[in-house]
Amino acid sequence: MVPLADKIRPKNIEDLLGQKHLLGKGRILNKIVNSGIIPNMIFYGPPGVGKTTVANIIAKNTNKKFYKLNATNASISDIKVIVKDLDSLLTANGVLLYLDEIQNFNKRQQQSLLEYTENGKITLIASTTENPYFYIYNALLSRVNIFEFKPLNKNNIIEGLKRALDILENEMSNNSKIICENKILEFIANCANGDLRKAINGIELAFKTSNKNENGDIIIDESIVQQCMNSSIRYDKFGDSHYDILSAFQKSIRGSDPDAAIHYLARLIKAGDILSICRRLLVIAAEDVGVAYPNAITIVKSCIDSAFQLGLPEARIPLAEAVILLATSPKSNSCIKAIDKALKDLDNKDVGEIPDHLKDGHYKGAKNLGRMVGYKYAHDYKNNYVKQQYMPNNIKDIKYYEPGENKMENAIKNYLLKILKLQY
C-alpha cells in the first residue's frame, strides 16, 4: 500500500510547497530545473521539506538514466554497478544519481564518485539533513553546488494537509466525507515543526483510527490527533541543530532578551541536554557578563549545582533562574578580549623574557643570576601599590584589559586612574 506522503508528492515545481527562495520564479533552482542542464548538487535541510521531491522532478526533466541510492545502506559495490553501465546504450546521455543521506558515506565512498562527477558521466544530486560543510569531504564539496532547504511554515503545512485530506476523501466510497476542523490542522502543523512528511503521516494515522458517524463520514477529533502527533523540535546532540540552538541560546542572553533565552533553554531542556546548558551558562557568565557583574558566575554556578542535584524536571527551575539573571545583567566582554589579545600576541610576537626581578628567587644562588633583585613588594607601599615593570621588555607598553562602560568597570577605571595613574 502506497503511503499517503508518497501519494501527495508533487509532480512539478509549481505544486511544491515552500522553498520559494530556491524555487520561486527567477530563483536559481527553478532556472536549473527548467533549463534541463543539471550541475552536481547537494540539497541540505531538515526532513520532510521537499529535497527528494525536487530530485525526482529534476530526474523526470532530464534524458539521463536515473539511479537512486540511500547512503545508509549503499556501498562502493553499488557505485561500481552504476559505473559498469556508463558506456552502455542505456546511459548514452549520462547518469543522474540521487544519493540520499550522503553524510553516511565515508571518505572512501565519497571519493569513489569524484572521477565520474568530474568528467560529467555521473551527475550527482545528494541530500543530507546534516551540515555538508561538516560531513562532506573537501574534494567532493568543491565539485558540487549546495542548496539549503528551509523548514516549511505553518501555512505550507496546512495547505499540504488539505491536499492530503482531499486525496483520502476521493478514495472513500459512498460519497463519504472527512470532517476535520481548521484548529486541528493548525495543531498538526505546529507539532510538525516544518516537516510536511511528519504532518502527513500524522493525519493519515488519525484518519485510519478515527470513528465514523451514522452517515459513514470520518470524524477526526482533537483527542485522536493528540495521540497521533507529538511535537519534535529538531535536536541532535552531536549534529548541526545542537550547535544552532546553543548559538541562539548564547546570542539571546548576550542580547539581553530573556524571553528568547528562555525559549532556547526550553528546547535544550526538552532534549534533556543539561550538560550542554550548564557548560554554556558558565561560559556566558564569564564571556558576556564578566566583570560587569562578577558575582554572576558564582550565582550561576550555584544554580548549576542545584540543577545537577535536583535532576529533571525540577532542574528547569534553577536553570531558568540562571538564564534570566544572565540575560538581564549588565554586559561586558572585556575579559575575553583581554585574554584573546594576549594569546594572539604569544602566537605572533616575540614577547621577550620575564623581567629578572619577577622571576623566582627562592633558591640558593638566585641572586647571583639577578633573580628578584630590585623587586618591590607592593604591600609595603601606600595603597598597596608601587610602580614597577611587570611586563616583558618587548611588550612593556601593551594594554590588554580595557574596562567596559558599566557601573562595576567604571569603578575599576576610576581605581586605575587614581592609584596607577593610567589613562583609559
Which tens digit of pLDDT belongs to each residue from 381-422? 888 888 899 999 999 889 999 899 999 999 988 888 888 775
Residues 109 and 144 in one domain: yes
User: Cell triple for residue 332?
Assistant: 561586558
The Cα 268–Cα 323 span in angstroms is 12
CB atoms within 10 A of CB 177: 14
Residues 296 and 194 in one domain: no
Residue-number span of the structural domain to which 137 is assigned:
18-148
Bridge-based pairing state of the strands 41-44 and 145-148: parallel
Domain boundary among 148, 164, 183: 148
Contact 210, 252 (CB under 8 A): no
Identify the residue with better confidence: 370 or 280.
280
Bridge-based pairing state of the strands 218-219 and 211-212: antiparallel
Cβ neighbors of 150 (< 8 A, separation 6 or more) are: 18, 19, 21, 45, 49, 194
Residues 301 and 252 in one domain: yes
Q: How confident is the model at residue 233 (pLDDT cuts 50, 70, 90)?
A: low
Q: Does residue 297 register a pLDDT over 90?
A: yes
CATH number of the domain at 399, please: 1.10.3710
Produce one character per residue of 246-267: b if its CB has 16 or more CB atoms within 10 Å, e if not.
Answer: beebbebbbeeebebbbebbeb
Mind listing the pLDDT tens digit for each residue in 28-61?
Answer: 999 988 887 899 999 999 899 999 999 989 888 8
Q: Does residue 423 register a pLDDT over 80?
A: no
Identify the residue with better confidence: 297 or 273.
297
Q: Does residue 174 register a pLDDT over 80?
A: no
Determine, yes or no, domain membership for 265. Answer: yes
Of 92-96, 144-148, 204-208, 304-308, the range with the lowest mean pLDDT is: 92-96
What is the percentage of the chain residues whose pLDDT exceeds 90?
48
Domain boundary among 133, 148, 163: 148
Q: Choose from 13-27, 69-83, 114-128, 287-301 the range with maximum mean pLDDT.
A: 287-301
Q: What DSSP state is assigned to residue 56?
A: H
Determine, yes or no, domain membership for 270. Answer: yes
Q: What DSSP state is assigned to residue 146?
A: E
Identify the residue with better confidence: 424 or 44.
44
The Cα 213–Cα 218 span in angstroms is 7
Average pLDDT, the chain: 88
* Mean pLDDT confidence for 17-26: 92
Residues 25 and 139 in one domain: yes
Predicted confidence at residue 247, as pLDDT, reads: 92
The Cα 123–Cα 118 span in angstroms is 9
Q: Does residue 163 register a pLDDT over 90?
A: yes
